[in-house]
Amino acid sequence: QAQLVESGGGSVQAGGSLRLSCAASADAFSLRCMAWFRQAPGKDREGVAAHYRYGGYTYYADSVKGRFTISRDNAKNTVYLQMDTLKPEDTAMYYCAAGPCDKDYASALGTYYYNVWGQGTQVTVSS
């Protein structure tokens, strides 16, 4: 059964950094896309960053471009999200996801093509 387990969330002051990790089962890690989504209270879940395994394409939401970096360690079946220069508006529950997305921005950062989800890890950024 495909599984994803996130870790690395926590509380940090604005301007700080965190690195989230997503440990994936072999089934999940074999899917075309791995991504990070986030959901703040009262808001829809939004795509933050995605990695398309064939060619290593990466996609980022405009709100995090230049501050967040998604990476993939094939030896460890793990995907990371390095978050730098954090802002209070980055506060949310962050979810790792895997699925057969297409190689385009809308598909990679939309929830439709993701069928494996982790339980989430909370990130809180204080001003």
pLDDT tens, position by position, 83-100: 999 999 999 999 999 999
Which pLDDT band holds residue 4 (cuts at 50, 70, 90)? very high
Alpha helices (H) along 50-124 = 105-108
Whether 42 and 115 have beta carbons less than 8 Å apart is answered as no
pLDDT tens, position by position, 31-69: 999 999 999 999 999 999 999 999 999 999 999 999 999
